[in-house]
Structure formats: C-alpha cells, structure tokens
Structure 1
C-alpha cells in the first residue's frame, strides 16, 4: 500500500526521533522509516551538556504528546563498579554489534554537498565525530531544533502547507546555520582525543600541557555552551493538519 506523508525521515536514531518530535511541535507529520524489526534493550549514554539539555527540554518537557521517556537517576545498585561488570557478564551477545568509528573531515562539512533538493542529512549522517567531547548526541539534538525551526517557519508562512519549492530554501538555511558549528565540534573532538591519547613523548607532553590545556581546551570546552534557539510557536490544537501544495 502506498503511503503519502509530508516528510519522510530515514533511520530511528537520536537525530531522527528528535526531528520527528520537532516537526510534530510545529504541526507537521513525519513518517519515520527504520530497517530494524524492533526495539533493542541495549544502548549507550547521552551526554547532557548545556547545548544538549536545552533542545531536550524544548522537545521533551514542553511536548505533552512526546514519545520520549524520561529516565530517572541511576538506581543505587548500579552505582558500584561490580554491578556494571555483572551487567556485562550477563549481556546477551546476540544484541551486540560491531560498528567502526566514523569521522568526517571538517572541510567536508563546511564545503561538502549535504543536500539535494528537498533531501538533507542530520546527526551522524552529517557530522560523525570521535566521542572525546561527548557531542554526537547533543549536536544531533541541535540539528533537530534548527531543522524543525526552518521547516516550521516555511510551513507557518505558507498557511500551514508544505510547499515543496520552499523546502529547498529551508534546508539550505538549516545547513548554513549548522555547517560551521558542527565543523568546530568535529575538529575540537578530534583534537581532544588526539592530544590526550598521544603518548608520553616529550614533544607530545609539551603540546598537551603547554599548549592544548593552556590555550585551546577552554575554547573547545566552551563549544558545549550553545543555545540552538527555539521552534516557531504552534498551538497543539493546530497540529496534524498539514497538507501539500504544488
């Protein structure tokens, strides 16, 4: 059976689910496509630095119909290292997967082609980075709000209609806002990992202690203090009425 939706999003990671919620908040229905047959009980932590916490509050706490589940603090029994080891020992090996660490050069983000017509990328598809700043998930949440804002503004300005001709411009504006920001995050994360894991040679110690920590680390760590902005105002009563105009 053929399905017609205003927006189709491929994948069901942090970025995709957050984008779907962001679009929901501005009244646009999105079809989320995921090849996995079901939910898995495995996962990883999401580092909630300020730049991640602000969009998460916007998408979760302020959305009465949000599909997210808020996690409470870690139970006391899991706070001891022995408990973590016990979890690993009893893990179902069939749920474990091997995925190589991906990295996109920052100039590929700044100057690369990240969209085609009404199609674009977000999250790891746009800016895969090393985990040394813990910004993979946070930057994906930023993507969701920024993309939702530009698409939402187009939707509202066109009287609650998805106008294909305007989507390319909305996507282009989204990429203009995100290119340099994510390129800095990718670069900062790579440098942080490279310097801290660079070994004990004298020149690396000098680079790490005399230059990186003294002059660069403060600027790099400051990247997590970023407010990606808000979504356009849309009352919940006006949601789910989007349609397409040629």
Structure 2
C-alpha cells in the first residue's frame, strides 16, 4: 500500500444546493494521513451529501475538494482504485456466496496486484465459516461485515465508512473496531460516520459535527470537551443540535 504525507482528505468551503435548499454552506474538513476521523451530523446536517461529494457521486457547487490529492468528481476512477467505501446501504448479489462475490469483485476492480486474498479477507471480518453460504441467507450483521470486506479488498489507502457497524451485535462491533485499528497501524486513513456516540468517542483521533450545512465542532475529543466545558460527547452533540442557524454560522 502506498502512503502519502499530504492530507488524505482536504475540503475547503464546500457548498452544495438542492435547488433553493443549501445542504452544505462552506464545509471545511481535513482527514490527516493515518488517522481515524469521525464525521457526525444532526438530522439533515449534510453528512450524506458530504460523503457523496467525497466519493465522486456529486459535483460540488463550490469550494475545493481533494481526496488523496485528486478531484473525486473529475478523477473518480482513480480515486475509486485507491479508496475503500462502505455505503450506508448496499445491494449485494443474493445468489452468490461471499467467496464468489469477493473473487468477482477482485476481477472487476483495478490494481489487482494489491488485492487481499479473498479467504484472508473473509477471515479478517469473521466470515470464514460463512464463505460458501449464499449471501441471501446471511444475517444483516453478516452482510454488513461483507460490505466491509469489499471495502478492504484492494488494501486501500483511505477507507470511507458510512455507519459500518450498523446492525452489528456488541461483540462483532468491538471486533470491527479492532480490525479498523489494525488498518490504522498499517497507515490506512479512515473517515467514518456513525450514530453511536460511544463508538465515535472510542475510535476518533479527531471528529467533526455537522449541523445545518456547516461544521459546528471540530478537533480532538479532549479539546472539544474542554472548549465546550462539557463532560461527554453526548452533551456536546445535544448542545450543537439545539443551536440556531445564526449561531452555527458564527
């Protein structure tokens, strides 16, 4: 895996409109190389839109966006080859087995020389014993682990994970945290979204909270708590979620 010393994600002044609705109103985000950055958002904050732009699925309406030094909209194919993505919802082929699907995925994606062997990949996410079971017969949590295996298949430089532990039982969620820490030790950068504030507090090197299309809070958790004079991330999140648009824009 090739590493880079520049920010894995560098966003400045990102704007995006849905007609007359301003979904993003000048978002600034940096994901440093080799760190786990957690992006949180209140309802309708613009979190999903931000991820869509970073993944090259939406063209920004303004500002600058770089993922591994590239423009994800104009260089989406190059970005995709170096970034592993777990979407909030995926559509896995129900009639294939996990092993068949990962082997097919490896043939369809670029940079074949960097692929993690499919059996090893399934073992990483705790699915080795289900490798020959049709995907349609997997539980929701098992399918979520297969989503993660797909993102890891090309040994990516950056992981963009949209609620990757949603639907997992507590033990499997903890195992996933350990797996992500392993990739961090190898130099992988991770941008993760979650609804679990405990997960964010446990994993984040740094975090940001989006509210009403802007970054309301950003930084290491201890600095965020000190600046807000609050004891927990849940308290910070509650305070942010009750602010007005005028307060966010200050």
Question: TM-score, normalization: structure 2?
Answer: 0.25
Structure with bigger gyration radius = 1
Report the TM-score, using the length of structure 1 for normalisation: 0.25
- Between Structure 1 and Structure 2, the one with more strand by share is 2
